[in-house]
Chains A and B, each alone.
Chain A
Amino acid sequence: MKRTILSEFSDIPLDRGILSDRLIGKRRTKRLRRLGDNQQYNGGRVAYFLQQLINGLTLGSIYGLIAIGYTMVYGIIGMINFAHGDIFMIGAFISVITFLVLGALGITFVPLALVVVLLMAMIFTAIYGWSVERVAYRPLRGSFRLAPLISAIGVSIALQNAVQIAQGARVKPMEPVIAGGLTLFTDSNNFDVVISYLQIFIMVLTVVLMAGFTYVITRTSLGRQQRACEQDRTMAGLIGVNVDRTISTTFVMGAVLAAVAGLMVTLQYGVIDFYIGFLAGTKAFTAAVLGGIGSLPGAMLGGILIGLIEAFWSAYFTIEYKDVATFGILVLVLIFRPTGLLGKPEVEKV
């Protein structure tokens, strides 16, 4: 008997996103169990809480960086860029490959390698973001609302499968590049609160990037053009803003941030595969909506909130239902604030 098409559309194995049970969940559960034991014997509650806070902030930074890509694109052309999660996945793959190339070239000095990988991931992922916009979205600008969305879903399916074919379906492991960490303090029950150098790196990089982007958006001519296009594309075009180029730049900026997030995930979790984009993308989009879509600080806030919710839910309740918790909180927030936490209420005009 032939297998049904219904099941064939979904022959991607179950739940393989970042932080899924299969990839990272196991590790995390193991770590949690260890922590849980500590807690049981010693009752290191405050320390345990702080540790989860650090983990949540790290995860939240990553979600926030991806969420900015969604929010910027939504703000400027009002579409959900469904392929953005896959752009992030491509960023992760390019990071891994660049590490391998550097290894083959014999460059092992870690700071240099990191800088090179970061740059390469940004550049090549940006080209992907640019091409996707050029090919799949630009011809659809001005057509009705759902057309670019379907096109984006098509691109997302295509990118996932292209990477699966080109790079293989197996999970790609990475050895830790930045090892070690700081023990912040040890409480009276011998529970160490550790912040790894990698987590510091992730948070610092996120803050730097956020500062940089806020500067670009608020102070530079490019940012002014973007805000102009966001408010009124036709009018912006009339007063001499190159609308096409501004939109392209927006996609490039989103892709650059997604690439950084891809590198961070590669470093932090040490395993990637072609399917990580979907769940990360969904979470990041949730973050963008939670914070109020179209708002940059909102995206970052939403990302951090989602990261914290996941970390704490996994720590104190069940890791299996963390996605349920995330979406549940999203629904709750939207019921009371229909435009998200920092979103501007939409004034509907007739």
Chain B
Amino acid sequence: MADMKNAVATPGQGGFDVGAALKESGKAAFVAGLLGLPLLALKADNFGSKLGLVYRWDALFIAIAAVFVGRFLLILLSGRQKKSEGGVFAAFGKGIHSNMALIGLAGLVIGVLLPVVYPDRYVIYIATTFMIYVMLGWGLNIVVGLAGLLDLGYVAFYAVGAYSYALIASQFGWSFWVVLPLAGLFAAFFGVILGFPVLRLRGDYLAIVTLGFGEIIRVILINWTDFTGGPNGISGIPPITFFGLPFKNGDHGTFASFFGIAHSPVQRIIFLYFVILTLATLTNLFTQRMRKLPVGRAWEALREDEIACRSLGINPTNIKLSAFALGAMFGGFAGSFFSVRAGFVSPESFTFIESAVILAIVVLGGMGSQLGVVIAAFFVVILPEVFREFEEYRMLLFGLAMMVIMVWRPNGLLSFREPTIRLHPKKESA
């Protein structure tokens, strides 16, 4: 239950005092009892069209006991390992960052070899989903991590990309490879349209406007039935082809016949996986490159100090706009990939929670860190898979995990941040 974690308080000082720990746990359990009393012990159950009360005192007592024990263990643990933790993580982060190129290469090799070593449908499928999130995370990282703009409606651009492919492909029959750049352009265009009026707003105002924009796009997708298919979405989107060769059974002009191999449905899935792997890798390389260009440096400078940037003659609106549009473009690419993979799009896939998840990937990973995004995306995609058996508790655990990770590592999992450039590169600081 939600109450379980509600009892974390400041850790006790110094040595371990059983009496104080018990008292603290008692307090936590008392609060948990108060929290659980109206919502856990009493349930407003539907009986036909009426409501009736159902009493569940057992659940309340289990929750109180769990909080008591949990709080006690937490005090016990936090008393033990006090100092080492932060240092270890910082060193870990630094170690990772100094071997970044190597790790990136290793990751890429693992990514390429995965379908060869593990040609399992389910594994490839999850890996593809994981890569979509990595790509979205990297795209949003440009906006949030590098340029420091809080975007709560990133999913809107993802939706624009997805619907671009869905509509163009099913109306005109254009191939994925033609539509992909178009989808990116459309998304970037929407980014500029939204960004232009609002980018001069301060951080939190920008947050609500982008959130509103995400909702607007979704509301339009739901209600403009003639164009977007309304809540039912668009189905029967043409599947991906191997640069023109379809993945299906047949003697002529198919992927299998061209290469003279037997047709298997897994071929398409593996190809899709490689497509997203390539797209994501390009996103990353692009971002890494941008960081070294003047505009990329201006993003980071703007994030650190807007006034200083203005005094140096940088036009904040243009710089922000470029970050916003580029981030949106990658969202659009990912979106059009999403729709070619699923063969079906509906507004349901583009709710706020999706934006929140992508933002969580960026922030949990440690803002601005490309590797952090990968690690956080791993958490976000794999965690729900692991919890699949708990079904209804899955999202609850997900939300709690988000909160706990943030409280535990407020700067993200990989919090070590090195400026992209420094005046005297030889000198090692910190």
Residues of A within 8 A of B349 (CB): 6-7, 10
B363 touching A150, Cβ below 8 Å: yes
Contact of B7 among A98, A135, A339 (CB under 8 A): A135
Chain A, 1-21, contact with B by CB distance < 8 Å: what is the 0/1 string?
Answer: 010111111111011000000
Residues of A within 8 A of B207 (CB): 80, 149
Tally of contact residues, A, Cβ under 8 A: 88
Residues of B within 8 A of A331 (CB): 197-198, 209, 212
Interface residues of B in 390-427 (CB under 8 A from A): 392-393, 395-396, 398-404, 406-407, 410-411
What is the chain B residue whose CB lies nearest that of A326?
B212
The answer to whether B302 has its CB under 8 Å from any CB of chain A is no
The answer to whether B69 has its CB under 8 Å from any CB of chain A is no
Residues of B within 8 A of A318 (CB): 223
The answer to whether B216 has its CB under 8 Å from any CB of chain A is yes
A158 touching B219, Cβ below 8 Å: no
Chain A, 118-157, contact with B by CB distance < 8 Å: what is the 0/1 string?
Answer: 0010001001100110111011100111111111011111
What is the chain B residue whose CB lies nearest that of A8?
B384
A162 touching B396, Cβ below 8 Å: yes
Chain B, 210-230, contact with A by CB distance < 8 Å: what is the 0/1 string?
Answer: 011101100110110000000
What is the chain B residue whose CB lies nearest that of A147?
B410
Prevailing SS type, chain B contact patch: helix
B406 touching A140, Cβ below 8 Å: yes
Interface residues of B in 358-372 (CB under 8 A from A): 359-360, 363-364, 367
> Shortest Cβ distance from A204 into chain B, in angstroms?
26
What is the chain A residue whose CB lies nearest that of B144?
A146
> Shortest Cβ distance from B302 into chain A, in angstroms?
14
Summed over the interface, the residue pairs from A and B with CB atoms below 8 Å come to a total of 252
Q: Which of A147, A156, A166, A167 is the most central at the interface, judged by chain B CB atoms within 10 Å of its CB?
A: A166
The answer to whether B91 has its CB under 8 Å from any CB of chain A is no
Residues of A within 8 A of B43 (CB): 97, 166-168
The answer to whether A241 has its CB under 8 Å from any CB of chain B is no
Question: CA separation between A168 and B363, bound complex, in Å?
Answer: 32
Question: CA separation between A149 and B411, bound complex, in Å?
Answer: 12
Contact of A334 among B209, B308, B367 (CB under 8 A): B209
Contact of B216 among A101, A166, A172, A327 (CB under 8 A): A327
B219 touching A321, Cβ below 8 Å: yes
Residues of A within 8 A of B393 (CB): 161, 165
Q: Which of A132, A138, A158, A172 is the most central at the interface, judged by chain B CB atoms within 10 Å of its CB?
A: A158
> Shortest Cβ distance from B200 into chain A, in angstroms?
7
Contact of B39 among A90, A146, A350 (CB under 8 A): A90
Of A43-51, A185-193, A278-286, the one contacting chain B is A278-286
Residues of A within 8 A of B308 (CB): 350
Contact of B212 among A143, A320, A327 (CB under 8 A): A327
Q: Which of A139, A150, A163, A348 is the most central at the interface, judged by chain B CB atoms within 10 Å of its CB?
A: A150
A154 touching B211, Cβ below 8 Å: no
Question: CA separation between A120 and B52, bound complex, in Å?
Answer: 19
A97 touching B399, Cβ below 8 Å: no
The answer to whether A335 has its CB under 8 Å from any CB of chain B is yes
> Shortest Cβ distance from A64 into chain B, in angstroms?
16
A4 touching B129, Cβ below 8 Å: yes
Q: Say whether, besides A6-B132, A6-B349, A331-B209, A101 and B42 are in contact (CB < 8 Å).
A: yes
Residues of B within 8 A of A120 (CB): 38
> Shortest Cβ distance from A117 into chain B, in angstroms?
11
Question: CA separation between A23 and B2, bound complex, in Å?
Answer: 27
Residues of B within 8 A of A157 (CB): 353, 356, 395-396, 398-399, 402
The answer to whether B31 has its CB under 8 Å from any CB of chain A is yes
Contact of A80 among B31, B198, B204, B402 (CB under 8 A): B204
> Shortest Cβ distance from B409 into chain A, in angstroms?
9
Contact of A2 among B7, B125, B356 (CB under 8 A): B125
A5 touching B129, Cβ below 8 Å: yes
Residues of A within 8 A of B122 (CB): 2
The answer to whether B100 has its CB under 8 Å from any CB of chain A is no
B39 touching A94, Cβ below 8 Å: yes
The answer to whether A330 has its CB under 8 Å from any CB of chain B is yes
Question: CA separation between A202 and B42, bound complex, in Å?
Answer: 27
Chain B, 15-43, contact with A by CB distance < 8 Å: what is the 0/1 string?
Answer: 00000000000000001001101111011
What is the chain B residue whose CB lies nearest that of A278?
B352
A166 touching B212, Cβ below 8 Å: no
The answer to whether A93 has its CB under 8 Å from any CB of chain B is yes
A324 touching B219, Cβ below 8 Å: yes
A321 touching B223, Cβ below 8 Å: yes
Residues of B within 8 A of A163 (CB): 39
The answer to whether B1 has its CB under 8 Å from any CB of chain A is yes
A330 touching B51, Cβ below 8 Å: no
Residues of B within 8 A of A334 (CB): 198, 201, 205, 209
The answer to whether B291 has its CB under 8 Å from any CB of chain A is no
Question: CA separation between A120 and B42, bound complex, in Å?
Answer: 14
The answer to whether B307 has its CB under 8 Å from any CB of chain A is yes
Q: Which of A5, A12, A174, A289 is the most central at the interface, judged by chain B CB atoms within 10 Å of its CB?
A: A5
B403 touching A155, Cβ below 8 Å: yes
Contact of A124 among B34, B52, B307, B381 (CB under 8 A): B34
Contact of B204 among A74, A104, A159, A321 (CB under 8 A): A74
A5 touching B39, Cβ below 8 Å: no
Q: Say whether, besides A7-B349, A14-B348, A150 and B1 are in contact (CB < 8 Å).
A: no
Residues of A within 8 A of B223 (CB): 318, 320-321
Query: Would you list 14 pairs from A and B whose C-beta atoms are within 8 A, ordered by A residue?
Result: A2-B125, A7-B349, A12-B353, A80-B208, A127-B34, A143-B410, A150-B363, A154-B404, A158-B399, A172-B51, A173-B51, A327-B209, A330-B209, A338-B205
Which 3 residue pairs spanning A and B have beta carbons closest together? Answer: A154-B402, A157-B399, A158-B399
Report which A residues bind B (CB closer than 8 A). Answer: 2, 4-12, 14-15, 74, 80, 90, 93-94, 96-98, 100-101, 104, 120, 124, 127-128, 131-132, 134-136, 138-140, 143-151, 153-168, 170, 172-174, 278, 282, 285-286, 289, 293, 318, 320-321, 323-324, 326-328, 330-331, 334-335, 338-340, 346, 348, 350
Known: A335-B198, A346-B202. 10 other contacts (CB 8 A): A2-B122, A5-B129, A14-B347, A124-B35, A131-B6, A158-B396, A159-B2, A170-B46, A173-B46, A289-B204
Report which B residues bind A (CB closer than 8 A). Answer: 1-2, 5-10, 31, 34-35, 37-40, 42-46, 49-53, 59, 122, 125-126, 129, 132, 144, 150, 197-198, 200-205, 207-209, 211-213, 215-216, 219-220, 222-223, 231, 306-308, 338, 342, 347-354, 356-357, 359-360, 363-364, 367, 381, 384-385, 392-393, 395-396, 398-404, 406-407, 410-411
